[in-house]
Amino acid sequence: MQTEAVYSSDLTFNLEIWKRELKFHKSELVLFQKKLEEIAGREDIEKSSYELESFQNRIMIERDAITKLLHRCRAKLGNLHSADHYKNIDGQLQYEKRSLYEDLRHYIKLHYEFKENIMDFFLKWL
């Protein structure tokens, strides 16, 4: 029983950390959007309006991805809290965690690539 509780607490810890990281990325997107709006208001932006629009679209896509991943984390936490800890946690929770983990790793990789690109764009306009 002790091993199962530790395992459950490890999964809960991971999910809570992932939720915090996703929320941080969401707050970054708000800052990116504000800076893009500021740049869009400038007179000399016409030559980069395609790039600007592309970043704004990417922000909307990332917000949607974050919302879906946060929902999956919350659902997984709900499953963990309602699991019977006196029995073995079945492989389904472990499988679902692994799938979520892979999706989060993929999202984070894409997010940091996006962040690098948008920061390069900001450096060009600031």
Predicted pLDDT at 1: 38
Length of the chain: 126
Which residues, at least 6 apart from 52, have a Cβ–Cβ distance to it below 8 Å?
A: 36, 39, 40, 45, 121
Predicted pLDDT at 2: 44
Predicted pLDDT at 32: 97
First to last CA, the chain: 58
d(CA 42, CA 52): 12
42 DSSP 8-state letter: S
pLDDT, one tens digit for every residue, the chain (126 residues): 344 444 677 888 989 999 999 999 999 999 999 999 998 888 776 767 888 999 999 999 999 999 999 999 999 888 887 765 544 555 555 555 568 889 999 999 999 999 999 999 999 887
Provide the residue ranges of all domains of the chain, joining segments of one domain with +: 2-125
